């Protein structure tokens, strides 16, 4: 939490200073005291709105035919002629009244009274013909698309009787009535589709691209009036008004909060152990800030190099250092965040620069996945430089830039130089960080694997049996770690030192007795168990005195976990004071393995000792070795020794197969030459005559291979 607050404050301070340039005391219409260029992309809202409004206004309305117009007109004509027939049937009413009644219902004021009178006196057949021609005339007029602009033309055609609006009634009064009736119902049947029109207008407005001031583009020019859109751009940049500065700092703080939060969540997901060590968090933050400030220093060359300055920013340095010292996934995420921050807060970095930085970081992470010498750092820098150069060239090809332009190849060269710069900086910084923070890197592990290391030399001289066992365990660990995707170098080097505590009392461990006197024969089981388990604590002390990294020290207690020293516990339980025997007094203190590599070491340690003990009794077949290996692994799993590491059942199956393959190669069957068979038979007979109780000096082997049943029956335990 403390480191999170500190990183948040530092990042807010850095981003706030980048985003808060010197402000201007101006208003719209004032003369600009100096020219201002956009430090980053700035949205021009006013000009964008103007262009979009113009585009929307240019959209022609969309019309759709309204069928109800014709239907309504036809229904009206039918109703009119129905009324005419009804009034014609009122024979008991005088003609003048009927004429007036008909005029009131039809309401065509342009018609004279004589026309209404004629409607009452003509033949019924002529009335039917008039109705039919009126409907036909409506069908002709409104059966096609009629826009508002067409209404006057159609009415004029009906009035003049021009084709196709001709009538054949023979009675001028009736003809005039039909024309006026039809004209009264002519209106546009093509009405505006407001919803579709609005959608087209909206789409036309959206298709107008946003107007932005690009980084480096002139927003206001000295001694020129400031327009409304220019003023809004200055406000957005925090260059005018008191609140603008506050908003800028608030935005910087919010971005810093998001960055710190994302990093914290990612670390807790991928490498939760980093949260437990302040030094690791400090190292991660230090690498990030150094990379950020070096990149900002490179951005100062933007005046001379233009956009090419972005390609010199060594963002991949963070990826390379953090991947080697901490974790590749966390390193890649932090590099992406740094690239994005540079794109947001510096004028020298655009989208292309961010893309090149991200691709270079990805290349750097994968290039240092297996670092075995300092020269590998330069190989990683070469990979970063090549990826940068190719990415820059690809960006120019996407823009159809002329390849003969010297600026293109200048930027490509800058990308390649970036890789060389990353290699030089990483080579110089790596030893410093290793020493200052005590970090175990592959390079450091290779140094610790040197057989001339003082502790390994002591182990080889003072406890040669344990040393031989250590070499075999290391081979098993490396092969298994390689198979499941763990760190094979860490697994091998950790295995070299896992039994380093046996230097203190080598004779108390069966692999160093070589058939001599067993000191455990004269000790009570509780004291023997204490001596056996103390090699863990003594090993940790020796490792710390020698300055071994904590990652290596963890192998010493975790390769035993909290397992039981079963042989001495069994012997103590058989004694007369078994009621005072506590199982806790015969267990290792732990902790249980917390990493895959230490868990592999636990399994390899048990399997190697167990199979070696069985091999001394008789030749072993491949099936026997596999059965014993899987028994040991299953025992550790059932005891809960693997609960704190992230090994899956699939991983355990893979580990078992690798162990069997390696152990089968070490303990393969050999030919018994003549004479040796007889010696072996005599040895076996002699052993059977000895009988007796199990050798307590072989307790460590009994613990490792779990062969307690054989010892209970009185067989002599295996010797190294």
Q: Residue 543's domain is classified under what CATH number?
A: 1.10.3210
Same domain, 510 and 564: yes
What end-to-end distance do the CA atoms of the chain give, in Å?
51
Contact (Cβ atoms closer than 8 angstroms) between residue 283 and residue 342: no
Same domain, 142 and 185: yes
Q: Is the pLDDT of residue 248 over 60?
A: yes
Per DSSP, the three-state class of 59 is: coil
Same domain, 365 and 462: no
Same domain, 466 and 412: no
pLDDT of 597-611, one tens digit each? 999 999 999 999 888
pLDDT band for position 422 (50/70/90)?
A: very high
**Which residues neighbour 195 within 8 Å (Cβ) at sequence distance 6 or greater?**
none
pLDDT band for position 668 (50/70/90)?
A: low
**Domain region containing 404:** 268-439
- Two structure tokens written together for 263: 């990093």
Could you tell me if residue 687 is inside a domain?
A: no
Same domain, 373 and 426: yes
Number of domains the chain contains: 3
Which residues are 192's β-sheet partners? 63
Q: Is the pLDDT of residue 412 over 80?
A: yes
Could you tell me if residue 675 is inside a domain?
A: no
End of a domain among 129, 159, 192? 192
Contact (Cβ atoms closer than 8 angstroms) between residue 252 and residue 15: yes
pLDDT band for position 681 (50/70/90)?
A: very low
Same domain, 657 and 589: yes
Beta-strand relationship, 63-65 and 190-192: antiparallel
Element (H, E) at 64: strand 63-65
Helices (H), 300-350: 302-305, 315-325, 328-345
Same domain, 378 and 526: no
Q: Write the DSSP assignment of 684-709 as a string of letters.
A: HHHHHHH--S--GGGHHHHHHH--HH
Domain with residue 400: its CATH number is 1.10.1760
Beta-strand relationship, 36-37 and 218-220: antiparallel
Could you tell me if residue 682 is inside a domain?
A: no
Mean pLDDT, residues 619-624: 84
Residue 656 confidence (pLDDT): 95
Residue 702 confidence (pLDDT): 41
Please tell me the number of Cα atoms within 13 Å of 509 on its side-chain side.
28
pLDDT of 556-577, one tens digit each? 999 999 998 888 888 888 865 6
Could you tell me if residue 21 is inside a domain?
A: no
Same domain, 337 and 382: yes
Q: Tell me the C-alpha distance between 75 and 55, whole Å.
A: 43
Same domain, 400 and 485: no
Same domain, 588 and 520: yes
Helices (H), 513-648: 525-545, 550-553, 555-558, 566-574, 596-617, 622-638
Residues shown for the chain:
720
Could you tell me if residue 220 is inside a domain?
A: no
pLDDT of 178-205, one tens digit each? 888 888 888 888 888 888 888 888 888 8
Same domain, 509 and 417: no
Could you tell me if residue 678 is inside a domain?
A: no
Q: Tell me the C-alpha distance between 322 and 284, whole Å.
A: 7
Same domain, 576 and 638: yes
Cα 28 to the center of its chain, rounded Å: 45
Which residues are 212's β-sheet partners? 43
């Amino acid at each position: 939490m403390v480191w999170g607050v500190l990183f948040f404050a530092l990042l807010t301070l850095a981003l706030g200073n980048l985003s808060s340039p010197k402000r201007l005391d101006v208003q719209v219409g004032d003369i600009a005291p100096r020219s201002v260029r956009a430090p980053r992309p700035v949205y021009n809202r006013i000009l964008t709105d103007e262009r979009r409004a113009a585009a929307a206004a240019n959209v022609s309305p969309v019309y759709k035919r309204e069928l109800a117009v014709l239907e309504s007109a036809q229904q009206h004509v039918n109703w009119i002629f129905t009324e005419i027939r009804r009034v014609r049937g009122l024979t008991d009413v005088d003609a003048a009244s009927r004429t007036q009644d008909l005029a009131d219902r039809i309401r065509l004021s342009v018609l004279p009274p004589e026309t209404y009178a004629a409607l009452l006196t003509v033949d019924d057949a002529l009335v039917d013909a008039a109705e039919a021609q009126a409907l036909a005339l409506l069908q002709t007029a409104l059966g096609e698309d009629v826009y508002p602009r067409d209404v006057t033309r159609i009415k004029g055609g009906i009035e003049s009787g021009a084709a196709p609006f001709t009538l054949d009634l023979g009675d001028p009064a009736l003809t005039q009535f039909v024309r006026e009736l039809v004209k009264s119902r002519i209106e546009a049947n093509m009405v505006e589709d407001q919803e579709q029109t609005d959608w087209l207008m909206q789409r036309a407005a959206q298709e107008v691209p946003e107007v932005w001031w690009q980084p480096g583009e002139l927003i206001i020019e000295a001694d020129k009036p400031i327009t409304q859109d220019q003023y809004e751009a200055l406000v957005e940049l925090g260059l005018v008004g008191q609140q603008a500065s506050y908003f800028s700092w608030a935005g910087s703080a919010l971005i810093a909060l998001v960055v710190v939060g994302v990093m914290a969540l990612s670390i807790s997901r991928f490498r939760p152990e980093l949260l437990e060590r302040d030094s690791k968090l400090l190292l991660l933050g230090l690498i990030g800030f150094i990379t950020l400030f070096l990149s900002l220093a490179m951005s100062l060359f933007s005046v001379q190099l233009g956009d090419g300055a972005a390609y010199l920013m060594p963002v991949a340095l963070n990826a390379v250092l953090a991947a080697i010292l901490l974790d590749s996934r966390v390193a890649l995420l932090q590099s992406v965040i740094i690239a994005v921050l540079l794109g947001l807060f510096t004028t020298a970095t655009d989208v292309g620069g961010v893309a090149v930085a991200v691709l270079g970081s990805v290349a750097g992470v994968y290039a240092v996945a297996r670092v075995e010498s300092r020269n590998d750092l330069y190989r990683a820098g070469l990979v970063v430089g090549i990826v940068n150069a190719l990415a820059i060239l690809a960006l120019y090809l996407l823009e159809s830039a002329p390849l003969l332009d010297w600026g293109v190849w200048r930027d490509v060269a800058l990308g390649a130089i970036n890789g060389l710069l990353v290699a030089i900086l990483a080579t110089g910084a790596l030893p410093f960080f290793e020493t200052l923070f005590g970090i175990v890197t592959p390079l450091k592990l290779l140094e610790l694997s040197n057989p001339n290391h003082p502790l390994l030399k002591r182990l080889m001289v003072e406890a040669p049996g344990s040393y031989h066992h250590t070499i075999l365990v290391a081979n098993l660990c490396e092969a298994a770690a390689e198979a499941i995707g763990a760190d094979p170098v860490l697994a091998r080097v950790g295995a070299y030192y896992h039994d380093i505590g046996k230097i203190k009392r080598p004779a108390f461990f069966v692999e160093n007795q070589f058939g001599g006197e067993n000191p455990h024969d004269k000790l009570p089981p509780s004291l023997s168990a204490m001596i056996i388990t103390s090699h863990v604590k003594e090993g940790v002390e020796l490792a710390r005195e020698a300055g071994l990294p904590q990652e290596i020290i963890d192998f010493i207690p975790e390769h035993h976990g909290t397992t039981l020293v079963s042989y001495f516990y069994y012997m103590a339980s058989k004694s007369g004071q078994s009621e005072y025997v506590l199982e806790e007094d015969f267990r290792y203190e732990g902790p249980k393995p917390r990493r895959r590599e230490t868990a592999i070491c636990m399994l390899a340690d048990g399997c190697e000792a167990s199979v070696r003990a069985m091999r001394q009794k008789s030749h072993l077949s491949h099936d026997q070795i596999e059965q014993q290996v899987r028994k040991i692994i299953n025992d550790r799993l059932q005891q809960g020794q693997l609960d704190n590491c992230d090994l899956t059942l699939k991983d355990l199956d893979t580990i078992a197969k690798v162990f069997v393959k390696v152990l089968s190669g070490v303990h393969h069957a050999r030919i018994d030459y003549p004479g040796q068979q007889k010696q072996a038979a005599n040895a076996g007979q002699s052993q059977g005559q000895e009988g007796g109780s199990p050798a307590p000096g072989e307790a460590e082997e009994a613990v490792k291979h779990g062969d307690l049943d054989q010892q209970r029956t009185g067989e002599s335990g295996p010797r190294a």
